[in-house]
Chains A and B, each alone.
Chain A
């Protein structure tokens, strides 16, 4: 009979303490704030579920949430197929492998706020490289500080530029781990490229792709710095994502109660989508 040894739990204890300190206690504080009203001075007044109710009936919340989902949907729809295509076309061996890998990794090394600032300057209509090119060479009117469509296109392209590499690198890792025997068997059977992709490469990449999509979902759904530095949520409110609106309420208006309620709903959505996606993907394993 297998003896049960519970000693391993002791080794997990330091991590548990660390997580309690930097995640659990702050979240508990947010829960406490979400049912109260404060005017500073550490004075709190009971509000009950009022903030949640108000939030769930406010158009401002739903529009920010809608923009957040739209953003995440767009970048996933672009980055995942694009990442897979790039990974498939990358060389599997030889001199160009490290060159490709390092080039791919470069955008991810740049901090969020730097990316935002870079793209801000890059797209300015009169002095930015892209902005000047679009307006004065191509003659297309493009100004992301004035035009909502241009602002949206810019934040999406910026995220694709910054994070497609993550999908590429993970897919590539999945691809190179497929043993050659599978390809040889496919060749003997006369399988088409599509069949190889559909029945060998995709199933073998499933796990890394799940992680890639999950990471991209969480990161893009919680994205703040890049769009904030680039557009500041504008023009008007057109690129005010949920995260930007949340910070506006918490730090701009100092409405800690509503902001806490909003961040808990935000958290619940991220948690549910991630859990459902992960559970469905891993169901048959």
Chain B
């Protein structure tokens, strides 16, 4: 093959393209980086302001509000255990990273999902991009992210957003599509505008699906924390990464368990939030 056809210099093209982007949009990327970094840091500062026990209680109350007493209790114990292990601050850094990336994934992802549910053309174009975002090894977009945003929390955050956004988009679209056809007909027959149909019927009915998407996004974002730590994002991921490089099994397991605890807490809370109050019956 190699002798018959000249090899196309794809890699060179991409490098040139990235260089060009950095040259032209450098200031813009710097601006984005500053903004994102500030957001994450603000999150960390806010959560670090109250004593750890008080924050654990606040989280537990939030869990109670969104889900059940049982999950609230688990949340309290889980957070206190992490505090006891001495990973409180890295845990907060990780949580800030995850929450920021998921918030951005929702802000961008839900409207895109709605758009895709309304326009066939949008769906045709965006679906393969989503496939790409999910299957491309995460390390690959860490490299250009470093070029664009330098080492630190931001490239990790961006990689998390890219990796975590597709489920929110897909499930939003799916949820809106799955609203029964006769309900759509009913909204049309009464003379709803497109926005009225979306806001009053389709999106409320798609809420369980959208929440399932958010839940998936949170899980995927958590799974990125170790990788993000490799480009300098601080948090529990960094502890795991250090344990790996230093072959410290004990520390590795400890931090791993801490990550899993956070994952379980976030998962249970968001699962319940999606299920709540659907026409007075569980759905």
Do A and B belong to a common assembly? Answer: no
